[in-house]
Structures are given as C-alpha cells and as structure tokens.
Amino acid sequence: MMTAALHNLGCKVNSYETDVMQQLLIDAGYRIVDFNSPADVYIVNTCTVTNMADRKSRQMLHKAKGQNEKAIVVAVGCYAQAAGEALLEDMAVDIVVGNNRKKDIVRILEEYKQQHCVTDSMIDINHTSEYETLTLQRTSEHTRAYIKIQDGCNQFCTYCIIPFARGRVRSRKREDIEAEVKALARMGYKEVVLTGIHISSYGIDLENENLLSLLIALDKIEGLERIRLGSLEPRIITDEFVQKISTMEKICPHFHLSMQSGSDATLKRMNRHYTSAQYYETCEILRKYYDRVAITTDVIVGFPQESEEEFEESRSFVEKVKFFETHIFKYSKREGTNAAKMPGQIPEQEKTRRSSILIELGKRHKKEFLEYYVGKEIEILLEEEICLDGKKMQVGHTKEYMKAAVDTEENLQNQIVRAKVIRVHENEILVTVRVNSN
C-alpha cells in the first residue's frame, strides 16, 4: 500500500479541497501519513496570495523532497496555477496540478507512475466556466464542516492576484451543495460554514439562483443546527437580504464583512467598489435586524500612498464601527498586481506602527464585546477538552463565534449546551457554568 502525506497552505477553500483530495486517495487505497513522516507521495496544496505565501509553498515542496528524494512530490493549487512553468523546472517538484484539476489527483498520480509524465493537469483557469465538482464525505473537524459553494472572483482588487489564480466566478449547483450538507448532517455534523473565493457572487452564473435562495434551501435541512457564512462582500447586505435571513434560526449572527480600509481614497485605489459610508450602512442594517450581531472584518494598513490622514480616517472608522474582531494585515506587495506598480510604497517600519495601533484598538473592542455577556446565558457548540487555569474544561463556540469554556466533567463534544457566563478569561475565552436544561 502506497503512503501519501498532504500539507495545506492558505485559506479555508484550500483546506476543504485538501480534505477532498485526501478522501479520494483513501478511497483509491492510499494510506495517509503525517507530512513530517516518510511517504511515497507528498501533496502540497499551495497558496499565492502574497510573495511570502509563494515562498512558503516552495519551502514545503523542498522539505517534502528532502524527506524522501524518491517520493513523488506534487504541487497543487493557486501557486501551482500561477507559477506552473517555473515549478516544472524545480528539481524538487515532480507534478504540477493547477486549479480545477484537484478532482483528478488519483488519475494524475497513476499516469505519472506508469509514464513518468502527466497530461491535462493544468488548464487556462481564466477561460473556463467549469465548476470543479468536489464532494466532501469526511472532514478533519468533528463538529463543523466547511462547504465550498463557489470558486473564482470577478472583483480584481488592485492588491490581489487570486482572480488570476482562481479564474472567474463559477458556482456549484445548489442540489450538489444540499446533498453534501444533508449527508454531513446525517453523520452528526451540527454546523456548516459556507466558503468560497467570493461567496457573495454565488449564483450569478446560474439560472434563478443566488446566495439567499441557497440559504433558504439549507435552512430546511433536518439535523443541521447552524449555518455560518464565510467572508461576504458588503454590498450583498441589503434590507431585503438581512430581513429574510434574520428569520432563519440556523443562520449564525456572525458576519465577516471584508472592509480593507476606512478611507474612501484608499478604497478607490484598491478598486473596492464601495465607500466607507456605504460600508457603515451595511453594519447598521445588520444591527437593525439582530440584537447582538458579531461583525468581523479585515483591514490592510500601509497600502501604497496611504497618507497619515488616510490612516487616521481608517482608524477612526474602525473606532466608529466597533467590530467584534478586526484582522489587521500589513500590505504585502504582490508581483503581478496593479498595486505592486503603484508609487508611494510605505516603509515596513511605518506599516508596523500603524498595524500596532489598530491591533490594540481591535483588542479593546473585542474585550468590550465579550464582557457584555458576563452574567448572561449563551449557547455553545462544544468541540474539545482543554486545560484552563489548571482545570479540564469543555470548549466550543457560540453562534457569534465567541470561544467559550464550560466547567463540566462530562464529555459533551458535538453537543449544544446552555451556559451562564461567569467571566472573560485573559485569553479571550468566556468562562461559563452549565445551566440545567430541565
């Protein structure tokens, strides 16, 4: 029996695709081993979102070959798609598999073993309307499952290479998504997270389908308790959309609205297609329909030409919105994007200073959000046991994606329990006691 080891880099979409490839290999008779162990086949699902991601992808490919020089080393995914020709010349890499060809991983490996070369492992991703059909039957997580609903992006933000690595928007058929979620619910998964490259665009290439129609269908699935949405484009948040999803008990009141900047001038250079005022309006719509909604976001600091005034506009905007969580990224130049060619690149030291300011602001807002729940009852989907302050506790997440620990001796993994919040631990976990369910 041949052994295979897989390593994932990058986003939740990559993680989902890695799980599916692992499943395909198991079904074909491969034995899966740890990536740090000797293996006959190493598969690295690469990322190309930044130059650092490219470097990490190359490092993992070289590490694989170093562990077993006779092994078949396979570069898969976004960096493989973007830099396929260069990787084919890398002595550490035997096979390059682009996006939309991961479903063929077993066939590609068999072809390589027989002929020492492969065909049809790469396509022109920017000229395809084919959605790569991948179906997950098992997942590495025990309580929630990530479900890929679409691929590709049509936005072309000036800092982003992903549309060139993933291609245009391609949506998965609703019936395929429903079938996968139903199967996972029957297996006991209580929560699904809808993910993709740009899930707000779901359905634009299908007839009479959109994200709302998909949510309406998934909300009816028996056994499923929670539906969590991945990153959303702010413009999808309308009165009609939120009014309808707010009536669905399974939709988690946790929305990640990618912002990137609170300065209109910076947003325009980023090609983000909305203003800070329009973004703020989406937050207000969510708060109109949800009593206590958790809004999270991403902010890039040090984008080319970002002046001190623009940074202050961004900082003030973050202060105004008071996000549950704010993920701060220092702008990283990505070759091949318009932003990389812009004049006025910001020094790294200044990016670090600005990043530190927003990180501290985000910590304060998160603490305030969590402290609101002290003395209140919450529902937690428990996932695992941890040791907190020298004591074993069960930990999981609320619908708002707050991490919470329950003081109990029972093994309550994959169960939803009610608990009362006692305090907020210094590591941002809500410490609770279970409320009698009778």
Q: In this structure, what CATH number is given to the domain that contains residue 63?
A: 3.40.50.12160
405 shares a domain with 312: no
The token pair that represents 71 in the structure block: 């092994």
The token pair that represents 332 in the structure block: 């990283």
Mean local confidence (pLDDT), 106-121 = 84
* Cβ burial, residue 249 (10 Å; 0-12/13-18/19+): exposed
- Report the DSSP beta bridge partners of residue 171: 150
Q: How far apart are CA 414 and CA 410, in angstroms?
A: 12
On whether the CB atoms of residues 61 and 93 are closer than 8 A, the answer is yes
> In 3-state terms, what secondary structure has residue 411?
coil
Mean local confidence (pLDDT), 37-55 = 93
What does the pLDDT read at residue 123?
A: 58
Q: What one-character DSSP code corresponds to residue 360?
A: H
Cα distances (angstroms) measured from residue 190 to each of 12, 242, 290, 434: 18, 23, 22, 20
The answer as to whether 20 is a domain residue is: yes
Point out the domain boundary residue: 351, 371, 391: 371
361 shares a domain with 425: no
87 shares a domain with 10: yes
pLDDT band at 116 (very low <50, low <70, confident <90, very high): confident
Predicted confidence (pLDDT) per residue in 141-188, tens digit: 678 899 999 999 999 999 999 999 999 999 999 999 999 999 999 999
352 shares a domain with 283: yes
342 shares a domain with 236: yes
Structural element, H or E, at residue 4? strand 3-8
Instruction: Report the CATH number that the domain containing residue 399 is assigned in CATH.
Output: 2.40.50
* Cβ burial, residue 29 (10 Å; 0-12/13-18/19+): exposed
Cα distances (angstroms) measured from residue 432 to each of 24, 191, 254, 399: 41, 21, 21, 15
Q: How far apart are CA 434 and CA 438, in angstroms?
A: 12
Predicted confidence (pLDDT) per residue in 214-240, tens digit: 999 999 999 999 999 999 999 999 999
Residue entry with tokens 């995914």: 77
On whether the CB atoms of residues 337 and 158 are closer than 8 A, the answer is yes
Structural element, H or E, at residue 192? strand 191-196
83 shares a domain with 12: yes
The answer as to whether 185 is a domain residue is: yes
Q: How far apart are CA 256 and CA 157, in angstroms?
A: 18
159 shares a domain with 95: no
The answer as to whether 131 is a domain residue is: no
Mean local confidence (pLDDT), 76-85 = 91
Instruction: Report the CATH number that the domain containing residue 213 is assigned in CATH.
Output: 3.80.30.20
As a residue count, the chain comes to: 438
The answer as to whether 318 is a domain residue is: yes
- Report the DSSP beta bridge partners of residue 170: 151
The answer as to whether 59 is a domain residue is: yes
Predicted confidence (pLDDT) per residue in 277-316, tens digit: 999 999 999 999 999 999 999 999 999 999 999 999 999 9
154 shares a domain with 116: no
Q: Which range among 111-115, 158-162, 361-365 shows the weakest confidence by mean pLDDT?
A: 111-115
Q: Tell which phi-psi region holds residue 260, choosing left (phi > 0), alpha (psi between -120 and 50) or beta.
A: left
What does the pLDDT read at residue 339?
A: 97
364 shares a domain with 228: yes
Q: How many domains does the chain have?
A: 3
Q: What's the chain's average pLDDT? A: 93
Pick the closest to residue 52 from 389, 391, 333 (CA basis).
333
Q: For residue 390, give its domain range.
A: 377-434
Q: How far apart are the first and last CA of the chain?
A: 52
* Residues in contact with 224: Cβ distance below 8 Å, sequence separation at least 6, in sequence order: 181, 185, 189, 190, 191, 192, 218, 250
172 shares a domain with 282: yes
What number of other Cβ atoms are within 10 A of residue 322's Cβ? 16
191 shares a domain with 119: no
- Of 387 and 344, the one with more pLDDT: 344
417 shares a domain with 350: no
What does the pLDDT read at residue 438?
A: 47
Supply φ then ψ for residue 122, to 5 degrees: -140, 145
The answer as to whether 138 is a domain residue is: no
Mean local confidence (pLDDT), 104-124 = 82
The crossing angle, in degrees rounded to 10, of helices 12-27 and 105-115 is: 60
The answer as to whether 44 is a domain residue is: yes
The answer as to whether 7 is a domain residue is: yes
